[in-house]
Structure 1
């Protein structure tokens, strides 16, 4: 079986959460005999093999609101759609919706990652293409039951929606030596509340800073992004010495910080945060989680009172209280961490993830 994956980027071209999700689908299914090709955009034309998959990069001509395009992409896509058995799209990516108009008739599915929340004007222009695309694919995959039941798009097409939660592959994470741990311990200490991710508007980090200002507990924020300057300005203006922003980090650094941390904190407060793969990473490391309950995949991963604490979104006082609760009850934090690791092993391993997609691929071929 040959599967063609379509998205604007992929791992290792870039290394975000969705890129990892595509990576793990391909890696896990390749190990089970599926032949995967990823068609994507980039700075130059090139092709190479990675973890058993063929990656084809087409040079991007232009980009509008993070939506890249290339005229050569249409020709390359049509050629590849002819030689593959299944076409696997990712939403949202309007260019992918457009490409579907040029596909040879093949079974198709789309992994629905998030509603479009911020670009409201462009969404109105794009909506006819979006709805035409969603009505034509054979199956739509939501990443959590919560998102499937609350997204207007998914409710509209509920008769074709499957739920396959995201996952991470523990075998791809590096081991950390004692020197690396000692270096990070000297820089940020240990027993802190950790956030890892891109610093975007929907991550709710302003509420985390306000919470840390209230309770004085140590926080480490790892990552870079458009909100960094504003966050650093708040820290400086309020002289918050308990918060350390360490910028973009390597995978080895991430493992070290998780090892040294007390808990993982995830204050995303808008539906743009459809799942939060970093939550699954935290559970893999056996860490209790504090997260905002926004009725998306993040609410599926972190179970209040079992794997951590959930709080109302955009509520800095609730965040501060939850941090105090974990800080003052070590037994509770340890228990949540044990439960978190068990939930990872049950729900979020790459074996489970890949097998779920392989089964769906087989159903599409059979039908």
Structure 2
């Protein structure tokens, strides 16, 4: 079976959560005879074709970015060519331009859609886009949501009814490098033996401004891994409120990331808007057996981090985050219990093998 994944960005150009979901989907189903390829945009598509984890990636030059929607005139020809040689197309929503690609090219192949999140920031433009979006989703063989709470709480998914299948994202621990003790020690020497960790693209919905406000006066060491458009504003906020122990580390290699996860005391993930539908970094923290602090916003985060079992879930408010931070920081036994439960839940609910079996079932059902 040959599957073409279509999304606006992919590795190695960008390292967001959806990119890593696609990567894990490809890795997890490869052993079952599923052959994947990826079509994406890039600001610098040189070379045009490359392999990532043995998967063919074709990048076309992005011509325009409007309201976080990358567009490319050459994508129409590329999509027609790539879709010609596959059995099924797997689109990754949201990216309105792919709806246009499907509508105009009409490759004649069945398609499924992974619905990664509602459209939140561009809600005014959503009124214009809604008819095209509805047509696109209505004609999919299946729409995949990551969690049952998100399926129930999303107006778009609720409208689709039985067309929606819930398949939680999964990770394969073997696809991550082993955390080297020497690297763990180096990071702890730099950050402190006890430090909090955040990993993610620094976007508006990540809630880091709330976390920094919550940390004012506590001075707990915080390592922020990632880059993005909110970087300068967050650094300025640290200066403004006098945080001396906040370390902006930018992007890090996979080896360094493994060491940072392994060495941190607790993982914090304060995303406060429904653009954060799941939280792949939160899932990685569970895989590493770390106690977690996250916000309860009716998204998939509440499925990964069960409040009072694997960590603490709080309203997206600085005061609540502050209370959660202090609770974790001051109670070693609680951290240990949460961390062990987080790893156990990962094994039973979020391992890549579980995702692979359900995904293959959807693929087979979608084929004529």
Match of 1:238 among 211, 236, 241: 241
* Corresponding residue for residue 269 of structure 1: 272
Separation of aligned partners in 2, 1:332 and 1:198 = 29
- What's the C-alpha RMSD, in Å, of the aligned pairs? 1.6
Q: Secondary structure at the match of 1:153?
A: helix
Separation of aligned partners in 1, 2:211 and 2:327 = 15
Q: Secondary structure at the match of 2:19?
A: helix
* Corresponding residue for residue 24 of structure 1: 24
Separation of aligned partners in 1, 2:54 and 2:168 = 23
* Corresponding residue for residue 56 of structure 2: 54
Structure 2 residue runs of 5 or longer lacking an equivalent are none
Tell me if the contact between 1:87 and 1:109 (Cα under 8 Å) persists in the aligned partners.
yes
Q: Secondary structure at the match of 2:281?
A: helix
* Corresponding residue for residue 195 of structure 2: 192
* Corresponding residue for residue 92 of structure 2: 90
Tell me if the contact between 1:143 and 1:165 (Cα under 8 Å) persists in the aligned partners.
yes
Deviates more, 1:13-22 or 1:302-311: 13-22
Tell me if the contact between 2:40 and 2:60 (Cα under 8 Å) persists in the aligned partners.
yes
| 1:89-148 deviations in Å (ceiling 9; x for gaps) | 011011111111123332211000011111123222222211111111111001111110
Q: Secondary structure at the match of 1:194?
A: strand
* Corresponding residue for residue 35 of structure 2: 35
Q: Is the counterpart of residue 280 in structure 1 residue 275 in structure 2?
A: no
Separation of aligned partners in 2, 1:64 and 1:222 = 27
Match of 1:74 among 76, 85, 88: 76
Q: Secondary structure at the match of 1:275?
A: coil
Q: Secondary structure at the match of 1:215?
A: coil
* CA shift in 2, pair 1:49/1:227, >3 Å: closer
Tell me if the contact between 1:39 and 1:55 (Cα under 8 Å) persists in the aligned partners.
yes
Tell me if the contact between 1:168 and 1:349 (Cα under 8 Å) persists in the aligned partners.
yes
Separation of aligned partners in 1, 2:76 and 2:107 = 12
Q: Secondary structure at the match of 2:65?
A: strand
Separation of aligned partners in 1, 2:126 and 2:323 = 38
Q: Secondary structure at the match of 2:121?
A: coil
Q: Secondary structure at the match of 1:125?
A: helix
- The 5 A counterparts of 1:6-25 are 6-25=6-25
Q: So what's the TM-score if we normalise by structure 2?
A: 0.94
- The 5 A counterparts of 1:346-365 are 346-365=348-367
What is the Cα deviation at residue 214 of structure 1?
Answer: 4.4
Separation of aligned partners in 2, 1:242 and 1:38 = 40
Deviates more, 1:7-16 or 1:155-164: 7-16
Tell me if the contact between 1:2 and 1:36 (Cα under 8 Å) persists in the aligned partners.
yes
Match of 2:185 among 182, 187, 194: 182
- The 5 A counterparts of 1:178-257 are 178-257=181-260
Q: Secondary structure at the match of 1:116?
A: coil
Structure 1 residue runs of 5 or longer lacking an equivalent are none
Separation of aligned partners in 2, 1:191 and 1:238 = 22
Tell me if the contact between 2:179 and 2:262 (Cα under 8 Å) persists in the aligned partners.
no
The number of aligned residues is: 365
Q: Secondary structure at the match of 1:246?
A: strand
* CA shift in 2, pair 1:52/1:39, >3 Å: same
Separation of aligned partners in 2, 1:13 and 1:235 = 28
Separation of aligned partners in 2, 1:12 and 1:247 = 16
Separation of aligned partners in 2, 1:49 and 1:292 = 36
Separation of aligned partners in 1, 2:32 and 2:54 = 11
| 1:212-243 deviations in Å (ceiling 9; x for gaps) | 11433332222222222222112212222232
Separation of aligned partners in 1, 2:262 and 2:202 = 22
Q: Is the counterpart of residue 3 in structure 1 residue 6 in structure 2?
A: no
* Corresponding residue for residue 298 of structure 1: 301
